[in-house]
C-alpha cells in the first residue's frame, strides 16, 4: 500500500490555542501595521515579536512560520472588502463596485498584491472564501455559464491587481520623494506635448491627479466589462 499523502500544512487546519496573554488577533493586527509601514521585506517573526513586546517563541505558539502568518494577514485585509449582493438586472454595477473595493484595499495595503500567489489554494481563510463566493455570485447572476463564471471573475481580478499594483508602486515613489502627488505630477512631462506650466493648466493629471487615477482605472474596468458583456450575449441563448 502506498504511504498516505501528507496533508498540506495551513494555519486554518490547526486548532486554536486557549486563552493566552498574546492572541492571534493581536499578532495579525500588528503584522498588518508592520507591513503597511515598512513593506513585505520587513516582515519577520523576530521583528514582529519585538513590536509586540514578546519573544518569537510566543508567536510560534499561534503561527508556525512566516507562510502561515501571510495566510492570516491576507485573510484579515480581505475582510475589509465591501462586495454588493449579486444583481441579475445590473450585474455590471455590482461587478464594478466589487472591483473598486478590491483596488481600494490593495492601495491601502500595497504589499498584498505580491503575496496573493503565496496563499495556499487548498486552505483559504473565512474572509477570502466568503468574498470569493460573493464575487463569483455576481457573475453567476449575470448569466455566465457555470464553466465561465470563475473565468469571468478572474479576468476582472487580474485587471484590478495589475492596475492597483502599478498605482501602489507609483504612490510609493511619490511618498519617498517627500512631495505631494500634485507637486510630483506637475514635474512629470506631459503626454500631450506641452512642457511649460501654462500648457498644463487644464491637464487633470496635474490639477487633480487622484481623480485622474480613478478615472483611468474606471475606463479600463469598463472596457473589460464591455468585453465580458459581449461574451455574455454570445454564451447565453
Per-residue confidence (pLDDT) for residue 2, from 0 to 100 = 53
Closest CA to 205 of 232, 227, 174, 226: 174
% of the chain surpassing 90 pLDDT: 51
91-235, what's its fold? Tetracycline Repressor; domain 2 (1.10.357)
Model pLDDT for residues 170-208, shown as the tens digit of each residue: 988 898 888 888 888 888 776 655 444 445 555 666 788
Residue ranges for the chain with pLDDT beneath 50: 1, 19, 121, 194-198
Give, rounded to a whole angstrom, the gap between the first and last alpha carbons of the chain: 50
Residue-range domain boundaries for the chain: 11-78, 91-235
**Among 150, 154, 153, 212, residue whose Cα is nearest residue 181:** 212
**What does the angle CA 6 – CA 40 – CA 36 come to, to the nearest 5 degrees?**
125
Q: What kind of architecture, by CATH, is found in domain 11-78? A: Orthogonal Bundle (1.10)
pTM of the model: 0.81
Report the pLDDT value the prediction gives residue 136, as an integer from 0 to 100: 93
The Cα–Cα gap between 82 and 96 comes to 12
CB 130 within 8 A of CB 190: no
Amino acid at each position: 500500500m502506498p504511504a498516505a499523502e501528507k496533508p498540506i500544512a495551513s494555519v486554518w487546519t490547526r486548532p486554536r490555542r486557549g486563552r493566552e496573554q498574546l492572541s492571534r488577533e493581536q499578532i495579525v493586527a500588528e503584522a498588518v501595521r508592520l507591513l503597511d509601514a515598512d513593506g513585505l521585506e520587513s516582515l519577520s517573526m523576530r521583528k514582529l515579536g519585538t513590536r509586540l513586546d514578546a519573544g518569537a517563541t510566543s508567536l510560534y505558539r499561534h503561527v508556525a512560520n512566516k507562510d502561515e502568518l501571510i495566510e492570516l494577514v491576507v485573510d484579515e485585509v480581505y475582510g475589509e472588502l465591501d462586495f454588493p449582493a449579486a444583481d441579475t438586472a445590473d450585474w455590471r454595477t455590482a461587478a464594478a463596485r466589487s472591483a473598486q473595493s478590491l483596488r481600494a484595499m490593495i492601495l491601502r495595503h500595497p504589499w498584498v498584491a505580491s503575496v496573493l500567489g503565496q496563499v495556499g489554494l487548498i486552505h483559504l481563510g473565512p474572509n477570502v472564501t466568503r468574498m470569493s463566493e460573493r464575487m463569483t455570485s455576481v457573475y453567476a447572476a449575470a448569466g455566465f455559464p457555470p464553466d465561465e463564471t470563475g473565468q469571468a471573475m478572474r479576468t476582472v481580478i487580474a485587471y484590478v491587481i495589475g492596475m492597483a499594483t502599478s498605482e501602489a508602486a507609483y504612490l510609493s515613489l511619490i511618498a519617498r520623494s517627500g512631495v505631494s502627488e500634485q507637486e510630483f505630477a506637475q514635474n512629470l512631462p506631459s503626454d500631450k506635448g506641452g512642457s511649460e506650466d501654462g500648457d498644463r493648466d487644464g491637464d487633470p493629471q496635474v490639477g487633480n491627479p487622484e481623480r485622474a487615477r480613478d478615472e483611468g482605472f474606471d475606463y479600463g474596468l469598463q472596457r473589460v466589462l464591455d468585453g465580458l458583456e459581449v461574451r455574455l450575449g454570445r454564451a447565453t441563448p
